[in-house]
Chain A
Amino acid sequence: MSQKTKVIEKEEVVIRFSGDSGDGMQLTGTQFSDTSALFGNDVATFPDYPAEIRAPQGTVGGVSGFQLHFGQMEVNTPGDFADVLVAMNPAALKANLKWVKPSGTIIVNEDSFTDKNLEKAGYDSNPLDDENLSDYNLIKARVTSLTKECLKDTELDQKSILRSKNMFTLGMVYWMFDRPLEHTEEFIEKKFKKYPLVVEGNKMVLRAGYNFARTIEALPYNFSVAPAKIKKGIYRNITGNKATAWGLIAVAEKAGLELFCGSYPITPATEIFQELAARKDLGVKTFQAEDEIAGICTSIGASFAGNFAVTTTSGPGLALKTEAAGLAVMTELPLVIVNVQRGGPSTGLPTKTEQADLMQAIHGRSGECPMPVIAASTPSNCFEYAYSAGKIALEHMTPVILLTDGFIANGAEPWRIPKMADLSPIEVPFAKEGDNYQPYARDTEKLARKWAVPGTKGLEHRIGGLEKMDITGTVSYVPENHQVMTDIRSERIRRVANFIPDVPVKGNDDAEVLVVGWGGTYGHLTTAVRELQAEGKSIALAHFHYIFPLPKNTKEVLKRHKKVIVCELNEGQFAEYLRAGFQDIKFNQYNKLQGLPFTVLELKERFNQLLEEK
């Protein structure tokens, strides 16, 4: 669709859009990634934004970023370093320059490099004038004035005009990567359909940016990234939070139950709750509770009453739900608790990612209080693991904690849409009218009690937080019985291991180094290991999704490699947990606590170091 001077084919490209938190960078990034996914590339994205809705304008703290990685091969991470950085103001340049590849392209909005903005960003002099940026392909565009110029004859007010400047840079980047504009034009038409002037204005600016890049020949050559070779099927883009919500709805539909979600808004988990709230058409009942405690408590009530009940939260909220989670363990009611981990402790880093709630999930309750803990690892497999969490909860009559994190919750990737018919069935152990019902009698395989739903004739019974008599479920203070019940609560969760898959290993059985990870670090670990394997290194990856209980082959896998290194975004909680279970194995660690994911580069450096160690 354009006359290009020279086209260079690239395997993969990383672009980072950055600007003030009001500059529309999340939208710009999402548009580019959707367009690339529709084009057939594999894509991974990572939004990186401040906790404040509109942090102080022009400051480094207020910079909002959106990184995306697209390619013609499998893309597992949003990329370490950017080929192209879009910086809408000096603060965005300052915050992100370190993430640009040497000789990468930087597009700046030159109009924003005023003395005032430079000072706010903490620059002593204008970086566009000195030599520091000479190693990069710097494109200075007067984005603000060109946008104004483009729209001067329209009736749009000044505010709306300035707001559409993100479309100018999007247009420029579309030209650079030879992307069609249609998808974004349709998006604009749909989003602003009540404001025809805004639709027209945004489309004009988008095209102006595209043409501007062509006119100035923003690059000496143009990149083209061919479609990826992906498995056949129908695809869509999905974020981890949406996939989680959909996985939970899928459980309810498969089990033939109503879905109830009692929750309290908390970053970065809120989108799950919002998505569920929007799904009244599928009969989802959402209850915006007065606090985190009421969130889980209404869900426990709904579970008692026969719904598939879930509650969604993040670390501090999980802490508040702790006591009630213990009640769910004691009453053996099905419940899924989703914890989208963020940087902690306390309020910590609400919009940043971390994996430091692992111990809280496994152990963080009063008394001996076991419940299964599982972790999703990519945006799209949040669906699969939310489904698995629900299936385990219902079939084993237990609360389950599903861990995701801010990185995969907000990240997006193309997802091959599953068919409901292909999902494994869910058998709910209901007690039925006419049964000789004993509330704490169990099946022999799973040790699950039966679920007698209020309203069922003849099954009236009482449950509660006090210790239960084995089988009858009446209150019991008998010492021996407490031992029996504690043992049963422990054993029945251990038996979940009989119903989960083995942990898969990527690489050879005799690889010297085994990389161990869990949860949202999967993309970076798998990329680092794959790249080292391609270099001929003796390395393999075991990535865990089932944390408690662990898959049955865990010991066998850990034991067969000479060196084991556990990588996680915390101080070593999974490593500690594995040490406690496998005392004869030496676990090396690689940890990071910056609110950011690993980079493939740093992982490879650490793995190479371990490979070289005698």
Chain B
Amino acid sequence: MTDTILKSHSPVKLTPKDFKSDQEVRWCPGCGDHGVLNSVQKAMAAMNIPKEKFAVISGIGCSSRFPYYMDTYGFHTIHGRAAAIASGVKSANPDLEIIQVSGDGDALAIGGNHFIHAIRRNIDMTILLFNNEIYGLTKGQYSPTSKQGMVTKTSPFGTIEQPFHPAELALGAQSKFYARSIDTNIKLTTELILAGSKHKGTSIIEVLQNCVIYNDGAHALITDKETKDDFQLVLHHGERMIFGKNRNKGLVLGGNGKLIIVTIGEFGISEQDILIHDAHNPDPHMAWLLSNMSAPEYPVALGVIRDVAALSYEEKLVQQIKDVQAVSSIKCMDDLLNSGDTWEVK
């Protein structure tokens, strides 16, 4: 059997158009998925990776139609299993660049187990988690991220379930890369996909996505022009956590271990007092605090929340095979067949 060699790609010039397939895009007009598709095609063109090295793998749901719209290798799999199938693709062929697309139902309900275990293993792929807090393709049932009390077709009197915070789940599975964007912010989403691709290991990019039909305005406070500046905190590694229409609000760490919103210039607070974002901090405590902030109590953290280096699963897998092959006397099947106790009948 041949060795899998992790090759470096030669630079190629591609444009977003090169990644558009001949299939008609069938998402509803106004659906947030259109924006993400643009972002992915832009990001891919900027990666300098030959087109044939990409594999886009999805589960089931509106967002999971994604591979059909990409002119790359693609696999539209079955409900919830995309992370497992993508894990197999990457382990089998570590030379591929994997983008895995899932919605909140696909990744966090039926596929929750595969989602957390892909992260735990740290398989090198970028998971785009489209979070619209609803089941769209089945026409409007509550999802594991729907807010408690939400009235849907399967919760006509309001859901009584506690929603998942996807980041909390990912961090619980020891996620090394967690980022968050908004469907309409193509610039930020593109940047995050590039950062996620660069990161070795499982990169989660949660995209707050709007379902215009079944859950319109789910993220309104964060996305509306009037309110968004006060409810978005775009994080940059090494920069202070400052936000607000007038860029005068910031976060400090309170004595009780909680984040506190302060106003620069009030009560003697200066810019120097505001926390500096350290995405590379191996300790997940701050990432947990930041990713769990929700509106209206807090601004919602966007950008790269956590980006900590670690070896990926398939790097370790390939290395282990090399190590064992270096010392084993069994080099081929005939060697194995004749190893151990054998005897000859003459």
Contacts and interface: CB of A to CB of B under 8 A. Distances in A.
Interface in A149-192: 183
Given A294-B117, A327-B78, A417 B337 contact: yes
A299 interface: yes
Nearest to B55: A454
Given A232-B345, A462-B68, A279 B336 contact: yes
Given A235-B345, A304-B75, A418-B337, A287 B88 contact: yes
Contact of A302 (B2, B71, B91, B328): B91
Interface string B53-87: 10101001000000110111111111001001111
Interface in A169-224: 183
A592 to B, nearest CB: 34
Given A281-B328, A297-B85, A465-B76, A460 B52 contact: yes
A579 interface: no
Contact of A252 (B1, B68, B324): B1
B1 A464 contact: no
A16 to B, nearest CB: 23
Given A300-B85, A301-B84, A306-B93, A38 B1 contact: no
Interface in A278-297: 279-283, 285, 287, 289-291, 293-294, 297
A232 B346 contact: yes
A236 B341 contact: yes
Contacts of A283: 1-3, 321, 325
Interface residues of B, number: 61
Interface string A226-238: 0000111111110
Nearest to A331: B75
A38 B336 contact: no
A475 B72 CA distance: 16
Contacts of B74: 460-464
Contacts of B245: none
Contact of B2 (A258, A298, A301): A258
B103 to A, nearest CB: 16
Contacts of A326: 78
Interface string B303-346: 00000000000000100110011001011111011101111111
B73 A454 contact: yes
Nearest to B81: A297
Contact of A455 (B2, B21, B95): B95
Interface string B234-270: 0000000000000000000000000000000000000
Sorting the interface of chain A by its residue count into under 10, 10 to 19, 20 to 34 or 35 or more gives 35 or more
A502 B336 CA distance: 31
B342 A309 contact: no
A484 to B, nearest CB: 21
Interface string B1-35: 11110000000000000000101000000000000
B166 to A, nearest CB: 18
Given A38-B343, A236-B342, A281-B324, A305 B55 contact: yes
B48 interface: no
Contacts of B4: 258
A474 interface: yes
A300 B88 contact: yes
B165 interface: no
B336 A282 contact: yes
Contacts of A307: 92-93
B51 interface: yes
7 contacts: A246-B337, A279-B336, A282-B333, A419-B334, A454-B89, A455-B95, A457-B52
The 10 residue pairs across chains A and B that have the minimum distance between CB atoms: A301-B88, A464-B76, A298-B88, A281-B328, A302-B92, A283-B1, A297-B84, A462-B74, A301-B85, A280-B324
